[in-house]
Copies of this chain bind each other. A is one copy, B any other.
Amino acid sequence: MQALVLERKGELAIRDIDLPLDLGENDVRIRIHTVGVCGSDVHYYTHGAIGPYVLKAPMVLGHEAAGTVTAVGAGVTNLKVGDRVCMEPGVPNLSSRASKLGIYNVDPDVSFWATPPIHGVLTPETVHPAAFTYKLPESVSFAEGAMVEPFAIGMQAAARARISPGDVAIVIGCGPIGIMVALAALAGGCSRVFISDFSAPKLAIAAQYAGITPVNIGERRLADVIAAETEGWGADIVFEASGSPKAYAGIFDLVRPGGALVMVGLPVEPVTFDVAGAISKEVRVETVFRYANIFDRALQLIASGKVDLKPLITGTYDFKDSIAAFERAASGDPSDVKLQILMQG
């Protein structure tokens, strides 16, 4: 089968590769339609590793995917041939302690597409457990279906935040994940979301959405803006989505007494954390690792029209041009949010 293979750091190839397609009792076979290019895919391409995950053998990239069911295992009841679907790329051991608790995202034995040594799905066909395959509502396109995975991270952040209706939130960092968090926070009950970044083009993309207020921290201090907008009280929730250690300086000045900080961005190095600042306001801190039990509710929000992800798809490539898509993604144009690859012409 053809696939986009990361041969080694810096070297991509579209070529044949042997991938298992055995259909287990609880599996479905899926013809892939659309695959999004994620920052992590690009990072494996440019750096060959993310933290402890190191590329040691050729690996197929891609984990944001939608497609059509072409076969179902004997035990599958929730899906049928012809269903349009999107897929959750992480598959846990369902018998594990974490999975039994409903937090299968932190099961140490999760297999996750395009995380070494697990192959991704930039390839025409795959087999996946039906339990982690979600039917697209009629009104949701394949392109939107392939956006569910990155949006699910924003949704997990919104869920972990335990938003109370009307909360005021801040999102630090206006990259793709920051925007997803902002949209999920708004759809999830916040009245207003301030999003901060140094990049005017990135902020312009977020500012398209009603309810999101961009703050260019090259021009204004975020703490000043928040103090002015909340009469000195602070935001109910601060989402850190930049992954920059610098974001932690003075971060508790932004939070109201009894508010929350949600850590989404993954700094490469440990950060300097102001314990006294957190304690004096008795701040709750939540952390976000991928998602669990989110895909179905993400789809509901997209289908209902409360969340519109289409403006974030800033480029679409045919599979044969997928290396060009990766080159563009690697170039880091601030006007780009999400590039997608079509597996079927």
Contact = CB atoms under 8 A, between A and B. Distances in A.
Interface of A: 26, 51, 78, 94-108, 129-131, 155, 158-160, 162-168, 184, 186-189, 191-192, 210-211, 231, 233, 248, 257-258, 263, 266-268, 270-276, 278-289, 292-294, 296-298, 300-301, 303-306
A131 B268 CA distance: 36
A227 B333 CA distance: 46
7 nearest A-B pairs in the assembled complex, by CB-CB distance? A102-B102, A166-B297, A165-B188, A273-B273, A285-B285, A106-B257, A191-B300
Given A189-B189, A191-B297, A94 B94 contact: yes
State how many copies of this chain the complex holds: 4
Given A210-B305, A282-B288, A166 B270 contact: no
Given A101-B258, A165-B301, A191-B300, A276 B266 contact: yes
A297 B165 contact: yes
Given A158-B165, A276-B266, A192 B300 contact: yes
6 contacts: A97-B233, A98-B258, A165-B187, A165-B301, A279-B289, A284-B284
Contacts of A301: 165-166, 191
Contacts of A166: 155, 187-188, 294, 296-298, 300-301
A291 B18 CA distance: 44
Given A103-B102, A155-B165, A258-B106, A304 B266 contact: no
